Amino acid sequence: MTHHHEDLVRTGARALAADHGVDLPAWRKLLPPEITVQGNLDPQWMTADPEEAAAAARALLQSMRPCRRYIFNLGHGITPQARTETVAAVLETLKA
């Protein structure tokens, strides 16, 4: 996806989403600042220990801190195997 960034920009989209396989901070640098970026925590984190998943979410948020137009999201959505307590821990991290 990162090698198609110019094609994606030419679509005129105001926001682009990336899955968890994309280095989001690096991809962000390739895009114009007016484009919002959404993504990309690996949904497998939702099956992990709550503290580990919260730490992964914090790391992603920290890596995107310099970006003004960023929406946190899972890379491909939530799976049925997600642990409720892990999802809650990530949500609390986002609220903080």
Answer whether residue 67 is part of any domain.
yes
Give the model confidence (pLDDT) of 8-21 as tens digits. 888 999 999 988 99
Q: What would the two tokens of residue 81 be?
A: 């195997």
Mean pLDDT of the chain: 91
Residue 43 domain-assigned? no
> What is the pLDDT, as a whole number, of residue 7?
84
**90 within a domain of the structure (yes/no):** no
Q: Does residue 29 have a pLDDT over 70? A: yes
Rounded distance between C-alpha atoms, residue 52 and residue 6, angstroms: 35
As to burial, measured by CB atoms within 10 angstroms (0-12 exposed, 13-18 middle, 19+ buried), residue 35 is: middle
| Residue 1 pLDDT > 70 | no
Q: Name which of 56, 39, 50 is nearest 83 in CA terms.
A: 50
Distance, first Cα to last Cα, the chain: 31
Entry pTM: 0.87
Residue 71 has pLDDT above 70, yes or no: yes
Residue 54 counted as domain residue: yes
Question: Do the domain assignments include residue 64?
Answer: yes
Residues spanned by the domain of 58:
27-32+50-76
Residue 79's alpha-carbon distances to 33, 43, 45, 70, 93, in angstroms, are 31, 7, 10, 23, 19
Into how many domains does the chain fold? 1
pLDDT digits (tens, 9 = 90+) for 45-62: 999 999 999 999 999 999
